[in-house]
Amino acid sequence: MLYVGVLEVELHIPEARSRKERRRVVKSLKERGKSRYRVAAAEVGDSERFQAATLAFATTAGEYKTVEQTLDALERLVYSGEAEVSRIRRAIRSAEELWG
């Protein structure tokens, strides 16, 4: 069975005073997630505000537990970063649920 997991994270970056500073924090989180956990990562949502960002991470695996553990690890990663987590949402679905 195939499972897909998505983690969406809204961040507050209090130290960012420019797009460059914001981009550094966002890029660092995306790259660490991708390299450590082999997931897809993207910035989604509004990218105009210096102190706010929304990131999405996605992963797939043959077992529900593996997807769950990867999302747990990603959650720990974003909470340990330079940004404050404003909101976090996650979902895990089987391929059957997606293509029903």
Write down the pLDDT at residue 78.
96
Buried b (16+ CB within 10 A) or exposed e, 34-72: eeebebebebeeeeeebbbbbbbbbbebeeeeebbebbe
pTM: predicted TM-score of the whole model, two decimal places: 0.93
CATH architecture of 3-99: 2-Layer Sandwich (3.30)
Annotated domain spans of the chain? 3-99
Write down the pLDDT at residue 81.
82
Tell me the C-alpha distance between 40 and 53, whole Å.
17
Write down the pLDDT at residue 23.
92
The pLDDT tens digits for 52-84 are 999 999 999 999 999 999 999 999 999 998 899
